[in-house]
Amino acid sequence: MKMKMFFLALFTASVAAAMPSRSPTEFEGSASQRIEKAIAGAVADGTRRVTIPQRDPLSADGVWRLDRAIVLPSGVSLILESPVLELKAGVADDVIRNASCGADCESDKAFEVLGVRFKKAVLRGGRTGLNIGNADGYVVSNLEFQDVAGCAVVVDKTKNGKISNMMVAASGQPSGSPCVLVTKENESVKVEYIIAYAKGDVVKDCSGKAKIGEIVNLHESPALEDRPVPALVPAPRSIRKTPGAYRAPAPYVTRDWIEFERDPTMRAEAYRLSVTTGGVKVAASDVRGELHAMATLRQLGEEKTFYRNCDFYTGGDIGRPLVIPCCEIEDHPRYPWRGILIDEGRHFFGKETIKHVLRQMSAHKLNVLHWHLTEDQGWRIEIDAYPDLIKYGAVRPCSPVHFARGDEFNGDVYGPFYYTKDDIREIVAYADALGIEVVPEIEFPGHIRAALAAYPEFSCAGEKLPRVPRCTWGIESDVLCVGNEEALKFVEKVLDEVVGLFPGEFVHIGGDECPTARWKKCPKCRAKAQSLGIKPEKLQGYVTARFAEYLGKKGKKIIGWDEILECDIPEGARVMSWRGRNGGLKAVKQRRPFVMCPSSHCYFNRTDGNPEDPFTPRNTHQVVSLEKVYSFDPARGLEGDAEKYLLGSQACFWSEVIWNRYDLDWRMWPRSCALAEVLWTGSTKKDFGEFVERLQQHRRRLVMQGVNAAPIYCENTNIKIGGAKK
């Protein structure tokens, strides 16, 4: 039943989003004038629907500052996408009221004030936050009231109304007046899910006819009993339990009830977290440290997710405030690069799946999304200078049959699938808000067949190359013609646009699995090699050096797969060691920073060994088990001060046989929990049995968050799962 309500709420929210609506952003003037014009326009054109977005684009801080009340006529729906509506200081008015409120006239009918996201819309200031009078049929939901001079909500002379999912801050209810006042002349009014810090009544029903649902008064709540610390993944470096628990003023972890302090003496991404019965304090070195502390708080408070606390009508939050066990935590990461690679060349996952991955990365203190956007089988990024990259490179005529052992094709056209520049800007901003850097990978000179389908003149074969991407998996023999200066200028122009979209430090240029047979036969490539005094098969080094210099002038550092070490690589280049550990060891000898991600331990597209895996890939003999991941030490084999060149590691999800979000989730979790702990906590936590005990609780948390996490599977029969041996 709960899931049915959840999906119905999602359906309602999605339908609501698709309905025609007017917005104050269409108009000019003050915030009040723009909202009034939007309401008048919605009445005039018959849509009778006004949506106020989260931020006022004309306000530096995004707050909608009003110089008078928002007045709603009959039949109008006011949809609030988590904005802050603030009545200016000194204005003695309501923040919102209906048109007939306080008047001796016909009742207003069928109007709504709805917050439609899990974060409540905020009504701040005023003599009353919401004043409803002389009304018949109304719904109000998902609002928070702050600094209101009197009652947060007043309901007078109404019937057939519903008021739900409200929070009233401590400062919003002075002098013992009720938070929600239902006067004598009301009929059929339902009031439910109200949370408040109230010195008096939370809800006062003078009519005796209102239907009162769940009400929580935090001011009168009894002292909390001691709470145990729940499972934390990754484990913090130091935690000390102290007596008691803290009741937060909200069901979600937000910055407004945490006391933050910056401590420049702490290392990057470090934090100190103190939870007492009186509140929460966080000291951190930087923004990422603060975000990591908040991620820990979410696990400490067992924060529930939107779908477990959704309002049936709006999809808004109705959850109870968090209860967090008192403790002291000091924490910092072992490595600065803690990543996830998502390959979208073979299969395209889409914006919402990437955001889903980013949310879980942030929850596990992973901080790099390595976004593999181009491949032989598909080009997934819009480039204005070369529109044919999308026309020809983002679609292929067929794909291998799932689980097929040979070259068996399904005959289904795949695509066109790609990200627009606006999509990418949105995802990069979303990641940045979560403390995650997005590193794009534009693969060349190999694995570029999809681009050559669009512009075959940049291949060694020239115009005779078929204008379709590669449809099979594996290594493609047609590569970039590096003896053709126009082909290299093409890459430069592509990178120019890529650099403009990704503000981070790194650009990944691939460099792996590039066959040289075409270069050896190509007159242009042979001539280029001869002019450089090298063999054609060594042109990879020329390409790497050229683009390291090119991107360096734009303030970027290149990173590439360990094949780039087969030639001399330039100063400042970074290496990803994927063919075992040798690439990392060679990078150390050249004093080059590197990421250690050997396929034996970090390629999670491979099976975890569970024989009942419904997403079992073709290469079942290549097992990357949970225990193997947890045993991984990126620094093994490094001697002396060599570890200073080790940036960290990442899990890689090559998508030949990962087709959608569900099998991506299955491959990713819970093995990424093990890698997250290896990269964050390091060798101080190496008890696999204790980790599995915590992981049992944590996997339930993942499932409750909508993650299609695989069951915990251990090859070691001595490890107990669910209280019994495997």
- pLDDT class of 535 with cuts at 50, 70, 90: very high
How many domains, in total, are found in the chain? Answer: 3
Give the residue among 355, 386, 389, 385 at the shortest CA–CA distance from 373: 389
Report the pLDDT value the prediction gives residue 531, as an integer from 0 to 100: 97
Question: In whole numbers, what is the pLDDT of the chain averaged over residues?
Answer: 91
- Give the integer Cα–Cα distance in Å for 562 and 626: 25
Report the pLDDT value the prediction gives residue 1, as an integer from 0 to 100: 43
> Residue 621 maps to which CATH number?
3.20.20.80
- Give the integer Cα–Cα distance in Å for 418 and 179: 50
pLDDT of 629 > 60? The answer is yes
Model confidence pLDDT, tens digit, residues 582-609? 999 999 999 999 999 999 999 999 999 9
Report the pLDDT value the prediction gives residue 104, as an integer from 0 to 100: 85
Q: Is residue 99 part of a domain?
A: yes
- Give the integer Cα–Cα distance in Å for 726 and 68: 66
Model confidence pLDDT, tens digit, residues 45-89? 999 999 999 999 999 999 999 999 999 999 999 999 999 999 999
Percent of the chain whose pLDDT exceeds 90: 77
Q: Which of 287, 307, 331 is the last residue of a domain?
A: 331
- Give the integer Cα–Cα distance in Å for 129 and 55: 19
pLDDT of 26 > 70? The answer is yes
64 & 172 share domain: yes
Percent of the chain whose pLDDT exceeds 70: 92
413 & 496 share domain: yes
- pLDDT class of 406 with cuts at 50, 70, 90: low
pLDDT of 234 > 50? The answer is yes
pLDDT of 618 > 70? The answer is no
Sign of the alpha-carbon dihedral angle for 335, 337, 340, 343: negative
Structural domain containing residue 116: 2-220
Q: Is residue 527 part of a domain?
A: no
Q: What is the mean pLDDT of residues 115-123?
A: 86
Q: Which of 316, 331, 346 is the last residue of a domain?
A: 331
Sign of the alpha-carbon dihedral angle for 131, 194, 1, 5: positive
84 & 28 share domain: yes
CB-based contacts of 352, cutoff 8 Å, min separation 6: none
pLDDT of 308 > 70? The answer is no
250 & 182 share domain: no
pLDDT of 176 > 90? The answer is no
44 & 191 share domain: yes
319 & 344 share domain: no
Report the pLDDT value the prediction gives residue 670, as an integer from 0 to 100: 97
Q: Is residue 242 part of a domain?
A: yes
Report the pLDDT value the prediction gives residue 170, as an integer from 0 to 100: 62
- Give the integer Cα–Cα distance in Å for 177 and 204: 9
Give the residue among 512, 464, 465, 456 at the shortest CA–CA distance from 484: 456
Report the pLDDT value the prediction gives residue 18, as an integer from 0 to 100: 53
- pLDDT class of 685 with cuts at 50, 70, 90: low
Model confidence pLDDT, tens digit, residues 437-457? 999 999 999 999 999 999 999
499 & 405 share domain: yes
pLDDT of 174 > 90? The answer is no
Asked if residues 409 and 471 have their Cβ atoms less than 8 Å apart, the reply is yes
In the block, residue with structure tokens 């690679």: 341
Q: What is the mean pLDDT of residues 686-713?
A: 94
DSSP per-residue string spanning 88-131: PTT--SEEEEETTTTSSSPPEEEEEEEE-SSSPEEEESSSEEEE
- Give the integer Cα–Cα distance in Å for 562 and 579: 7
295 & 207 share domain: no
CB-based contacts of 622, cutoff 8 Å, min separation 6: 599, 603, 606, 607
Report the pLDDT value the prediction gives residue 175, as an integer from 0 to 100: 59
> Residue 299 maps to which CATH number?
3.30.379.10
C-alpha distance from residue 614 to each of 234, 409, 709 (Å): 27, 21, 12
Q: Which of 190, 220, 250 is the last residue of a domain?
A: 220
CA contacts within 13 A on the Cβ side of 598: 19
pLDDT of 359 > 90? The answer is yes
pLDDT of 315 > 80? The answer is no
Asked if residues 48 and 77 have their Cβ atoms less than 8 Å apart, the reply is yes
169 & 281 share domain: no
